[in-house]
Amino acid sequence: MFVFDAHLDLAMNAIEWNRDLTRSLADLRQREAHLRDKPDRGRATVSFPEMRRAGIGLCVATQIARVEHNAYSPVAGWASPAQAWAMTQGQRAWYEAMEEAGEIRLIRDRAALESQIALWSTPEVPGAAPRPIGCILSLEGADSLITLNHLERAWNYGLRAIGPAHYGPGVYAQGTSTTGGFNARGRDLLREMQRLGFILDVTHLSDECFTEALDLYDGPIWASHHVCRALVPHQRQLPDDFIRLLAQRDAVIGMAMDAWMLVPGWVRGQSTPESTGVSLDTVANHVDHICQITGSAAHVGIGTDLDGAYGHEQTPQDLKTIADITQLGERLRARGWSQSDIDGLNHANFLRVLRRAW
């Protein structure tokens, strides 16, 4: 089994959560058992060994650091773009250190992509060192780009995808739970992204920014970690007309595993996976809805967002580790899915977008 996960905050977990992702999940949880500084302490679901156990040979790995636009904002951030840039460069340094250690391989072009797929398509050699996990760098929220010159600098070190906004208002665009379109700097950002060849990630954009982005951007597009607004009525989710627009652009939508996005009425700190009944079958319902809207299974993929500032207290109840995503294909097979369509979900659909982009 080969899996492409379109959204993992690996460096954020390593640096801000102080997690050594080369260790086992049991080690990570035990080390945090006494900590109370974050609500997900002791409940991690992602480590390199668990990713390998899931067959995740390729992922989109984020750099993330938003700017705080209001001192009283409930969404944490940095006081200036320069500070945010510094954080993303620390994250970049960690990715490069993991590449030097042989844990990951940074994927920047088509040749490296095909080489990574070939590596993971052959059986592991018993006793050999674990295969490196391919990582495509993506910037979640563009606030840290001090100028457009920093965008080209980021392209040169290997950044290949950008989501212009995250939560709340952004330097370039409006994000989750906000309204309004791109400002002038945001429109300049889109033009420069297109010139350089970036993939545009529409995840987290306000509704107005989403529709503007599809009008303004002619380059490759995906939605790395999303689900359906028809099933969970919140602006963070994609409405049916947006899903149709993405399908018209041959984009792919990665299925997020954050429980509050999967079932309506989730209350942070109160709801539990068991009390809401959320499971991988719930994820399958979102997958099925997108397929019904688009008329095929060609526009769904996996973008777990696991350990994205939450742990298994906020995942489907039958997903305690990222390795459990292997069960999703079996849930869909039970609904009549073919192996070809399951392969599309697991990796082939996102690889189609990447190959076309590169």
Q: Which two tokens stand for residue 78?
A: 């940095």
Q: Which two tokens stand for residue 14?
A: 């390593």
For the segment 216-262, what is each residue's pLDDT rounded down to a tens digit?
Answer: 999 999 999 999 999 999 999 999 999 999 999 999 999 999 999 99
Q: What is the pTM of this model?
A: 0.97
The pLDDT of residue 72 is 53
The pLDDT of residue 74 is 58
The pLDDT of residue 70 is 72
For the segment 168-204, what is each residue's pLDDT rounded down to a tens digit?
Answer: 999 999 999 999 999 999 999 999 999 999 999 999 9
Phi, psi of 115 (to 5 degrees): -65, -40
Pairing of strands 221-226, 199-201: parallel
DSSP 12-74: HHHHTS---TTS-HHHHHHHHTT--SSTTTT-----HHHHHHHTEEEEEEEE---B-SSTT-S
The pLDDT of residue 71 is 58
For the segment 310-328, what is each residue's pLDDT rounded down to a tens digit?
Answer: 999 999 999 999 999 999 9
Segment 50-57 shows an average pLDDT of: 98
For residue 64, give its domain range: 3-357
The pLDDT of residue 348 is 98
Mean pLDDT in the chain?
96
Which residue stretches of 158-239 are H helix?
Answer: 184-196, 207-216
Q: Which two tokens stand for residue 9?
A: 């905050």
Closest CA to 142 of 128, 130, 154: 154
Q: Which amino acid is at 295?
A: G
Residue 215's domain is classified under what CATH number? 3.20.20.140
Given a cut of 80, is residue 75 above it in pLDDT?
no
Distance CA 236, CA 208 (A): 13
Segment 54-80 shows an average pLDDT of: 87
Question: Number of folded domains in the chain?
Answer: 1
Segment 1-22 shows an average pLDDT of: 97
Distance CA 39, CA 26 (A): 18
Q: Which residue has the higher pLDDT, 269 or 197?
A: 197
Given a cut of 90, is residue 76 above it in pLDDT?
no
